[in-house]
Amino acid sequence: MAVTKDTIQAGDGKTYPKQGDKLTMHYHGTLASNGQKFDASRDRGRPFSFTIGVGQVIRGWDEGVMTMSLGEKSVLHITSDYGYGPRGAGGVIPPNADLDFEVELLRIN
């Protein structure tokens, strides 16, 4: 299906990630069905870094975060086929769960 985005706070509007860039961001993940939190980078006291567009993260992040500009804070609504699909994840994300992630793009390297 897809990933959709609701912008909470606009970014700079000119600096966007490209495939292969290393990104640093904060995120807060919840189940779309009931709002139950399953993960948050701030709970660990440090942002999360990854390389975009190379399959290190779920498809919904690879596609959704590419539409964000530096400093932007948005909610990504991710259908299960762009998330963890029928396998779920880590015993906290059930199979075929739609997900919501509040994400803040802090750095693009």
CATH code assigned at 73: 3.10.50.40
Domain range for 66: 3-108
Pick the catalytic residue from 58, 62, 78, 93. 58
Polymer length of the chain:
109
pLDDT at 106: 99
Mark whether 82 is an active-site residue: no
Mark whether 101 is an active-site residue: yes
Over residues 48-56, the mean pLDDT reads: 97
| Whether pLDDT at 51 is above 90 | yes
| Whether pLDDT at 19 is above 80 | yes
Q: How far apart are CA 107 and CA 29, in angstroms?
A: 19
Pick the catalytic residue from 39, 81, 98, 100. 39
pLDDT at 1: 73
Pick the catalytic residue from 52, 78, 93, 101. 101
Structural domain tally of the chain?
1
Tell whether the torsion through CA atoms of 70, 31, 81 and 89 is positive or negative.
positive
Over residues 54-82, the mean pLDDT reads: 98
pLDDT at 90: 87
pTM reported for the whole predicted model? 0.95
Mark whether 84 is an active-site residue: yes
